[in-house]
Amino acid sequence: MRQAMARWGTAVMVWWVGTAAVTAHAGVSVVDDHGRTVHLKAPAQRIISIAPHATELIFAAGGGPRLVGVVAYSDYPEAAKAIRRVGDNKSLDLEAIAALRPDLIVVWRHGNAQRQLEKLQDLRVPMYQSEPKQLEQIAASIEKLGRLMGSEAEARAEAGRFRARLQALRQQHAGRAPVRTFYQVWRNPLMTLNDTHMVSDIVRLCGGVNVFGGLDRLVPTLSEEAVLQADPEVILTAAMGATRNEQSLDGLEGWRRYARLQAVERGNLVSIDGDLINRPTPRVLQGAEQVCQALEAARRKRPR
């Protein structure tokens, strides 16, 4: 009997060790924001981020200590500023990236030049394409990155906090009177965003309506006449972020010459910190709160 129990115990131990070995080498897989399956043999330990928003998401998911390279304007959180720069959205230092021996590269397909992404693929390093398009997808992105990095617990906790804050904002602004809104991306040429962009999702969250949301292109080019005809109640733009540019800082001033434009007449020209509205990260809810405040102020200014 004792010999049988001993043999059984030995068999269980062998099974457990074998199962643990298989599990340790099973790797991890997720589907990125462009529908591509990303598979790693083991959780990533050396990560390079090729977009500022991706850097924030990696930190949010608990992977900050694993970042070995980032691009310019990766300035949040504070610890990101100390990580080695490997270029910017226009030019990457491919030799430096290769020398850092990454086991995962996180990219932004619409923000990084396609030719450079093709060269990155030549390194044969697993690549996760990050591009959340709706607010809810930010939480999912954090969880996916956490899985790739083996920091699931921290990622789930951060994703849960984000979802709770988002739900609170939805409840707070549900049922508000619609506010017709124009979002200006660029002044010359005049450009906006359609309803598939996250900025429009923020506007909807606050009870706003993107007056050009139905256009086909993600970033349509417009004429001033089109804006005057739409006569938005609020004009929004992004300014003062780390990636700021001089056009976006004073790009709304030109509308003041159209005194009868509702947004001008009622004093509803609004600039929001670009890092809080254009980066799909947990901080976007701070930008959303500012947009909601601006739209609520516009409601109060309506003639009685």
- Cα–Cα distance, 132 to 51 (Å, whole number): 13
- Indicate the pTM of the whole model: 0.85
Please tell me the predicted confidence (pLDDT) of residue 4: 41
pLDDT (tens digit, 9 = 90+) per residue, 3-46?
A: 443 443 443 343 344 334 334 446 999 999 999 999 999 999 99
Collapsing DSSP to helix, strand or coil, 68 comes out as strand
Element (H, E) at 142: helix 135-149
- Cα–Cα distance, 71 to 248 (Å, whole number): 22
Candidates 293, 256, 258; CA nearest to 272 is 293
Pairing of strands 37-40, 28-31: antiparallel
DSSP code at position 46: S
Say which residues have a Cβ less than 8 Å from residue 7's Cβ, sequence separation at least 6: none
Q: CA 185, 191, 196, 198: dihedral to nearest 10 degrees?
A: 0
Q: What is the mean pLDDT of residues 214-230?
A: 96
- Cα–Cα distance, 159 to 201 (Å, whole number): 18
Structural domains in the chain, sorted by start? 28-159 (3.40.50.1980), 176-300 (3.40.50.1980)
The token duo for 141 is 């992105």
pLDDT (tens digit, 9 = 90+) per residue, 118-167?
A: 888 889 999 999 999 999 999 999 999 999 999 999 999 999 999 999 99
Please tell me the predicted confidence (pLDDT) of residue 21: 39
pLDDT (tens digit, 9 = 90+) per residue, 164-212?
A: 999 999 999 999 999 999 999 998 899 999 999 999 999 999 999 999 9
